Amino acid sequence: MPGWTNLVQAETLGVALGRSDIAIVDCRSSLINPAAGEMAYLEGHIPGAVFASLDRDLSDMTRTGAGRHPWPSAARFTARLGDWGITPQHQVVAYDGGDGAYAARLWFLMRALGHEKVAVLDGGWLRWTALSLPVDTHVRKPVPARYAGAFDAARLLDAEQVQQRLAAGALLVDARAADRFRGENEMIDRVAGHVPGAISRPFAENLVDGRFKPPAQLADEFRALLGGRPAEEAIVMCGSGVTACHHLLAMERAGIKGAQLFTGSWSGWIADPARPVATGEA
């Protein structure tokens, strides 16, 4: 059976609920209150969903110097997938509160493992509940499984690799809000500004009315951004390597595959005070 590989609509998932091959992961989160996502999950979630904490499950907070949400090792992440009962054969669906910013992190973690059948619920929890689709409070206890896999290292870059790629002409796209990119409004990281040479495209520009734009529109926008470069010469970043994954998802929806992620992103860049910082427009 063909799988969902980038987005799935709420109506489609609603019909498929209960299929044994589907694994649903609730990725709701809040940078302001890290406990808010799990509290919301306990109050109600899509039936059968397990909960993924951004800090606990989708990052490795024991790592230092790699940004606010360090990319986990493959061993650590695949062990968590096994805890959730997810195998390489499952169709995985991730959702968050609505815009896909956190669900896209799980999507790209799995895509970097080579897992093709993984999709983000378009419109997330907000659209699911707006359509009065089923909601549950039961916390499922998965049957543990084994998931073996390794990340595609070519798609995951650290600060030094980004510097080298920029010097070679790569395009670095920053998914943060434009005022944070310009250094005018930094409420999260200790230094304001952006990586010299980066350009700004806030991840919200991938959406219209809370859902992803049509593939053709995204393709036109990202091809214009790339300026003739192949996707392999594009790197995406944000504040900590989370919302940047939204761009990777949007690009794949547009049929543009192969861009890389700056895993530490801005918070990883400024971990070394010797690295240059730019402010203002690109």
199-200 vs 22-26, strand pairing mode? unpaired
Does domain 7-130 match CATH 3.40.190.10? no
1/10 Cα distance (integer angstroms): 19
For position 37, what pLDDT does the model report? 96
250/6 Cα distance (integer angstroms): 8
CA-CA-CA-CA dihedral for 111, 115, 121, 124, to nearest 10: -60
70/34 Cα distance (integer angstroms): 15
Which entry of 27, 106, 238, 261 is annotated as an active-site residue? 238
For position 181, what pLDDT does the model report? 98
Same fold, 7-130 and 153-269: yes
Task: Please indicate whether residue 238 is annotated as part of the active site.
Answer: yes
73/79 Cα distance (integer angstroms): 10
Cα–Cα distance list, 215 to 47, 107, 207, 220 (Å): 29, 18, 11, 9
Per-residue confidence of the chain (282 residues) as pLDDT tens digits?
Answer: 468 999 999 999 999 998 999 999 999 999 889 899 999 999 999 999 999 999 999 999 999 989 999 999 999 999 999 999 999 999 999 999 999 999 999 999 999 999 999 999 999 999 999 999 999 999 989 999 999 999 999 999 999 999 999 999 999 999 999 999 999 999 999 999 999 999 999 999 999 999 999 999 999 999 999 999 999 999 999 999 999 999 999 999 999 999 999 999 999 999 999 999 999 998
For position 2, what pLDDT does the model report? 67
Q: Give the H/E segment covering residue 182.
A: helix 178-182
CATH number of 153-269: 3.40.250.10
For position 256, what pLDDT does the model report? 98
Kindly list the domain boundaries of the chain, sorted by start residue. 7-130, 153-269
